[in-house]
Structure 1
Amino acid sequence: MNGMNMQAMMKQAQKIQEEMKKAQEELEDSLFDGTAGGGLVTVTLDGKKRVDAIKIEPDAVDIDDLEMLEDLLIAAFNDAYKQVEEYEEEILPEGMAGLGL
């Protein structure tokens, strides 16, 4: 491999690294709302898949059926998590999503 090809490869690698950093920052600055029960429960995750907020409408709470509330929380979390994953796939360069770089 000659010096010209190596230089071009290094430039390409630097460009990809810059794109990754920009995409990662955009992802980290984003919030994703997952809902369940027609909006009775909302879980908000940040781009690092950490819980930012949980909102529970009073109608979601039935003291005699807490299992339903637990199921709604799980469903809302999973909805938000899926949104983060899909957005990550969309904005990160091909093959880089899920690497946690």
Structure 2
Amino acid sequence: MEPGGQPNIQQMLQQAQRMQEQFMSLQRELAETEVQGTAGGGLVTATVNGQNEVVKIVIDPAAIDPEDPADTAETIADLVLAAIHNATEEAQNLAQEKMGPLTEGLGGGLGGLGLPGM
């Protein structure tokens, strides 16, 4: 703080810039990260990136019942949705794990920047 109890604006701006750079770096890292989710004991695997975009779906041929194609299609659709849900949860957990230390530095808001009244 400056004399008189006032915050040093230059230091605050530098800290904010460093945090923005860290945030951008983590966003790039997460965008390049892929996580998988499975359903049906591994019959369906969904891969999503750190931005929750589905990048790949793999369906094990064992999931297909040639005797009952209609039921198989419905079952596979359910398994695909479950696998995507599982994978996006994993991606969200990863994002929270990676971003947690940075957001904690914000003090749950802008309070970590040392702004009075925040």
TM range (shorter): 0.7 to 0.9
Q: TM-score, normalised by structure 2?
A: 0.73
- Give the letter for the 1:80 counterpart: A
Once the two structures are TM-superposed, the CA of residue 18 in structure 1 deviates from its matched residue by 1.0
User: Identity of paired residues, percent?
Assistant: 39
Q: TM-score, normalised by structure 1?
A: 0.85
CA RMSD in angstroms comes to 2.0
Give 5+ residue unaligned stretches, structure 1. Answer: 97-101
Which residue of the other structure, out of 95, 103, 115, is the alignment partner of 1:94? Answer: 103
1:5-20 → structure 2 map (5 Å cutoff): 5-20=8-23
Larger Rg: 2
Which residue of the other structure, out of 61, 71, 83, is the alignment partner of 2:78? Answer: 71
Give 4+ residue runs of structure 1 displaced > 2 Å after superposition: 1-4
For residues 11-42 of structure 1, what are the alpha-carbon distances to aligned partners after superposition, in whole Å with 9 as ceiling and x for unaligned?
A: 11011101101110110110011100111000
Paired with 1:44 and 1:20, the residues of 2 have a C-alpha distance of 24
In the other structure, the counterpart of 1:99 is none
